[in-house]
Amino acid sequence: MEERNRVQIRKNDQVKVIAGRSLDKVGRVLRVMRDKNRVIVEGVSMLKRHTRANPSKNIKGGIVERESPIHISNVKIMCGSCGQATRVGHSLLSDGKKIRICRKCGSSLDK
Ligand SMILES: [Zn+2]
């Protein structure tokens, strides 16, 4: 069963795409859109936008490449310790702090 809408991916996390047209690409999370359950990953799912020159608005024509948001269920976090794409577990530290851990090797995913 899927875990309820808990967003476990954060900005600056290293993630791997596990579905869709950017399959197996790895990149850094630039933005998390919590309300839409989507993330923007650096260099992943690039969209080409053709823009027309508009001198009055100082816009140059040409092709602009931009990342498009991908659904959060299509990415997995990369563990810095074991180097694998993993699911996120949670652990409670003795001081009461919650940290995210790698389900594969148990290392902390938070710095
Ligand atoms: Zn790990």
Q: Give the per-residue pLDDT at 5.
A: 46
Cα(45) to centroid of ligand 1, in Å?
Answer: 25
Å from CA of 11 to ligand 1 middle? 19
Per-residue pLDDT of the chain (111 residues; tens, 9 = 90+): 444 446 689 999 999 999 988 999 999 999 999 999 999 999 998 888 888 888 898 888 888 888 999 999 999 999 999 999 999 999 999 999 999 999 999 999 987
Q: Tell how far the Cα of 88 is from the centroid of ligand 1, in angstroms.
A: 10
Can you give the pLDDT at residue 1? 43
Per DSSP, the residues of the chain read: -PPPS-----TT-EEEE-SSTTTT-EEEEEEEEGGGTEEEETTSSEEEEEE--BGGGTBPPEEEEEE--EEGGGEEEEPTTT--EE-EEEEE-TTS-EEEEETTT--BS--
Give 13 Cα–ligand 1 centroid separation in angstroms. Answer: 14
Give the Å distance between the CA of 89 and the centre of ligand 1.
11
Model-level pTM? 0.80
